Amino acid sequence: MKAELRHLISPDIDERVYWPDEEDNFGFFVQALIGPAGEEGEEAFGFQVCTPKWISAKMINRDFGDYGVFGRYMIIVKDYDFDEIKRMVTKLCNDTSGENWQEIASKLSRYGEWEFSDYQT
C-alpha cells in the first residue's frame, strides 16, 4: 500500500496569489491531505513551511534567548515556490508505503503532524 497526496492547503496563505515580501524569509502553515493510493479517505498532516532566514529571525527574543529554537514538522526551503513544496510532499507520499494505512500514517507522522498523533482509543 502507498500514500497519495490529495490536497495541499494553507489557512495562512492563498497559494494562487501569495508571494512573500522576501523570497528567502517567510513562514506559513500547510496541511497535506493524504490517503491510501487508489482508496477513499484522507487524513491531515501539518507542516510549517519556512526558510532558514525565517527560523533565524524567530530566535530573537525567544524563551531560550537567541541561541536556538526547537523545530518539528517543518519543511525548510531556500526560497518560495509553492509548486516545489507540493512536489516535495508528493515525493514523500510516493516514497512512503506500508502493509496498511496505520503503518503509512505512522511513517508520515515523523515528518508532518498527523491529526491522529495523540489519539487513544
- Where along the chain do its domains lie? 3-114
Please state the pTM of the whole predicted model: 0.89
- For residue 23 the three cell numbers come to 523570497
Q: Exposure pattern of 49-80 as b/e (b: 16+ CB <10 Å)?
A: bbbebbbeeeeeeeeeeeeeeeeebebebeeb
pLDDT at 64 over 70: no
Tens of pLDDT, residues 70-113: 789 999 999 999 999 999 999 999 999 999 999 999 999 999 99
DSSP 24: T
